[in-house]
Homo-oligomer: A and B are copies of this chain.
Amino acid sequence: MAAKNAFYAQSGGVTAVINSTACGLIQEARRHPDQIGKVYAGRDGIIGALTEDLIDTSLETDEDIARLRHTPGGAFGSCRYKLKSLEQHKAQYERLIEVFKAHDIGYFFYNGGNDSMDTAWKVSQIAEKMGYPVVCVGVPKTVDNDLPHTDCCPGFGSVAKYVATSIREAGYDVASMARTSTKIFVLEVMGRHAGWITAACGLASGNAGEPPHILLFPEVPFDPERFLARVDECVKQYGYCTVAVSEGLSDAAGKLIAESGTKDAFGHSQLGGVGQVVAQLIKDKLGYKYHWALADYLQRAARHLASKTDIEQAHALGVAAVNLALQGKNAVMATVERLADRPYRWQIGDAPLAEIANVERKMLPEFISADGFHITEACRTYLQPLIEGEEPPPYRNGLPDYIRLKNIAVPKKLEAFAI
């Protein structure tokens, strides 16, 4: 069989290590020139395929591709753009196949979360139906850590390491100041539906009394009275209290706590601000001075503090995706399989896209402590290996030295297509 080109796209919110996957994938593809011609990347994700805006990664040097391993963000651009059902968006799926055909693309690698796996699965179906078979392989990526059939999702381990480090460091700060000044510190972290990132903050407190003292999960309805009682208990016992709160914290009726606070003045519903709401609640009811931080994009872009485990898994999954495709494994996602907890051992596996698309993996109930305010030992056992190891980027002039690729476009061959 003559070599076919490959198409790779990054999807959804980017991470500190999604480029490590791109790095592994492109490097591995370059090792098989007899089977894979060029790797084209979608500029701004799947939109690049729809608009035939392809990037020719063969024009990047091996050195620059290697530097993707230590560069955060999405090197080719990403997008939040979900293709709907085949019925609703049939023209778009057909356009994808048309673009693939025009550029002799025989492999489709989609690097994303749930929605992307759903899209990859649908593309594999329609390609078959249209008589232009394309091997479709999903590559997991999401800080939300909510994909099934894989031990974890690349991107999550690095966010986990960042938030746990950050709340530990802020805890040292607050502990110093608590006698006469700030007694409360609240860190708001990502996680709309699942508390994985909030749980990761808990890794910083190895012993009783160490920050963070309280975790507020989206899975546990917020009970102000119980929360305030626990805060007060911590301040009386330790002199201060640190809290990690998920952006998705909700009350018993399912209403976001973020929407009950400072946001009303503007009348908008964008998340971000629940940290201040709970901090201000403490101030109002208990009178303690607070500080709060909103990590936002800093947490998922912090390549300078990425987990080596995460970087390695992200890279290995990129490599694996190519090998799965070369084995003709269609409509699967490369996965991480845990073999042992401590020391952590893992291997690459794969799972059918059909079983992954639109299935969300929730936090396990047994990972949350009985009082709802912390993590259990079982949770630590699961999370601990994911944050281990450091692989700092090179520094130049005191700052991480990241790469911006040339990202040269492949000449278009088709008519324009409106998305």
Interface residues, chain A, CB within 8 Å of chain B? Answer: 10, 13-14, 16, 44-45, 47, 71-75, 77-81, 161, 164-166, 168-181, 185, 187, 203-204, 206, 261-266, 268, 270, 272-273, 276, 280, 283-284, 290-298, 300-305, 307, 384, 387-390, 392, 395, 397-400, 402
Known: A77-B179, A78-B177, A261-B265. A399 touches B203 (CB 8 A): yes
B residues near A293, Cβ cutoff 8 Å:
294-298
Contact A272 B291, beta carbon cutoff 8 Å: yes
Min C-beta distance of A75 to chain B, whole Å: 8
Min C-beta distance of A198 to chain B, whole Å: 16
Known: A280-B266, A293-B294, A399-B161. A73 touches B172 (CB 8 A): yes
Closest 7 CB pairs of A and B: A73-B172, A74-B176, A262-B262, A387-B398, A293-B296, A169-B301, A388-B398
- How many angstroms between the C-alpha atoms of A227 and B392 in the bound complex? 36
- How many angstroms between the C-alpha atoms of A72 and B174 in the bound complex? 11
Q: List 20 A-B contacts (CB under 8 A).
A: A14-B173, A45-B180, A73-B171, A73-B172, A73-B173, A79-B180, A161-B399, A165-B399, A168-B399, A170-B296, A173-B297, A185-B297, A187-B298, A203-B397, A203-B398, A261-B265, A293-B294, A294-B296, A305-B305, A387-B397
Min C-beta distance of A267 to chain B, whole Å: 10
Min C-beta distance of A211 to chain B, whole Å: 11
Q: Assuming A73-B171, A170-B298, what are 15 further A-B pairs, CB within 8 angstroms?
A: A73-B176, A78-B177, A79-B181, A80-B180, A80-B181, A164-B399, A166-B302, A173-B300, A174-B297, A266-B284, A268-B280, A273-B276, A291-B297, A293-B297, A304-B305
B residues near A307, Cβ cutoff 8 Å:
398
Q: Copy number of this protein in the oligomer?
A: 2
B residues near A13, Cβ cutoff 8 Å:
177
Closest to A161 in B: B398
Known: A73-B172, A295-B293. A384 touches B397 (CB 8 A): yes
Min C-beta distance of A39 to chain B, whole Å: 18
Closest to A277 in B: B266
Known: A300-B173, A399-B203. A44 touches B180 (CB 8 A): yes
Name the residue in A78, A80, A298, A304 with the highest tally of chain B Cβ atoms < 10 Å from its Cβ. Answer: A298
Closest to A157 in B: B398
B residues near A171, Cβ cutoff 8 Å:
73
